Structure 1
Amino acid sequence: MKLNKISNYIDECGINFLILREIKIMKEIQHKNVMNALDLYCEKDYINLVMEIMDYDLAKLINRKILLTDSQKKCILLQILNGLNTLHKYYFMHRDLSPANIFINKKGEVKIADFGLSSKYAFDMHSGKTANDKYSKRALNLTSKVVTLWYRAPELLMGSNKYNSSIDMWSFGCIFAELLLQKALFPGENEIDQLGKIFFLLGTPNENNWPEAKHLPLYTEFTKSSKKNLKNIIKTDDDDCIDLLTSLLKLNSHERITAEEALKHRYFLNDPLPCDASQLFIDM
């Protein structure tokens, strides 16, 4: 078991809401690819959150340039998608998905963690379903200041406060590319630079690829850029890999593939197949 000590958990209104939200999600979502809170107890200055033992995060694996087989990469990605799909089925957005918040243990199990910024959302644009509970009403007007910069969807960078689980799918696409490249796909220094890097690769917004962009609060005109071929960036001959990545990294959030759809993508069904989790762990 891992003991996570959370300090400064009391504010002027009582226990900090972000901490309560993280605990609630870990208790509510019981899935092998979502970090589980086993127990919690309070001390004078801390909340002690007892969680499952994990051996390292995905950021460490990538930063150390560990060579993985295609089967191992697929195993990691598939487990992240399974965790995301479960979160989204409960109408939770993670809102801070990054390699630093994805953990791997000795069994090769991959788990999504850190739900301090997570939120419920009111409407799933893909399924047409509405989340009818007290959280969905609060989620109608959301902050755009979420998600670590390099993994932040373009609509958030442009100030949108009405979004859904597609922001997590953008983050997943960035993580997917980073796992392949062993470096960040869009390592922006600030929000404008981040948008510039995104538009340089995917093309600037226009009436065809993202007609709603010009109506967003922080919309800014960028020097026109045409879409680049991802194959030249990722340097792979795997058409299925490029197809899935392209389906994730869509400027228009309505066009992004869902976690459920991604799980059925032929990238995971064709050789080399994802390895078993027991073949994934790397002793670092």
Structure 2
Amino acid sequence: MRDKSPPGPLEYLRRPAIRAWLIGTCIFLYTPLITLMAFSFNNSKRNVVWRGFTLDYYVQVLHDTDLMVAFGNSLTIAAVSTLMSVILGAMTAILLWRFRFPAKPALEGALALPIVVPEICMGVAMLVFFTQVMPWPTEMPWPLNLGAIIISHISFSFSFVAIVIRARLASFNRELEEAAKDLGASEWRIFNDILIPHIRPGLVAGGLLAFTLSLDDFVITFFTSGPDTTTFPVKVYSMARFSPTPEINAVSTVLIIITVALTAIALRLQGTEMASDVAGG
């Protein structure tokens, strides 16, 4: 029997206005993505008219050597920059959380600069740096020729990672650390067995954020890439300057699926870890 009692103060989903707002938000956010994925199977060169279902454009994408090379470059850049960003971000977050020193406010302000500075300014700054201050050779073999882009991505990604991990550290119970010291644990043992497990969800979340930011970055990559270091966003931009094609839709669909799959795996791991913590507690 349907409950016809009036909604309580905290039963927001039973309020028609809240439901309508949630539905409208979901439609606004996900309709373009669903449309893009649907038209990647369209058997027509014109995206505005549906001609039938086909997988030909996915086959064409797999046989497009330039696009596959660009996609491989983007995955390599994202993987390396994510690894380094997680390491630097975690070290920075722990430094700002644990220690007090005179330059701490200045370091906190510098940490926020890559987040608040417009991306176009970051791109120009990196261009000047790698052409005037530390010229990066463009004729180096792969993947060394991607070094300038990787360094640029690390410079803005690790700030996001540090903020996520520092927020996680705010809930850390320092009494656990003191108890471990009383029991004779070394600093490394405390760091490895107590602190790292606590911030692991932040490491995963920060790593996913850094990977996503690096994978779809266009502006900074455009300024720092050389003639032989085309990445996926730059390649897609060059293909879409005149009009979107089903090949672009197909590649974008694959990228969306990869991103969603990685996010689902990370959420699954975090959920399993939280359930284990609850069971252990």
TM-score (norm 2): 0.25
User: Normalization by structure 1: what TM-score?
Assistant: 0.25
The structure whose residues are more often strand, as a share, is 1
Greater C-alpha Rg: 2
Relative contact order (alpha carbons < 8 A, sep ≥ 6): 1 or 2 greater?
A: 2
Higher helix residue share: 2
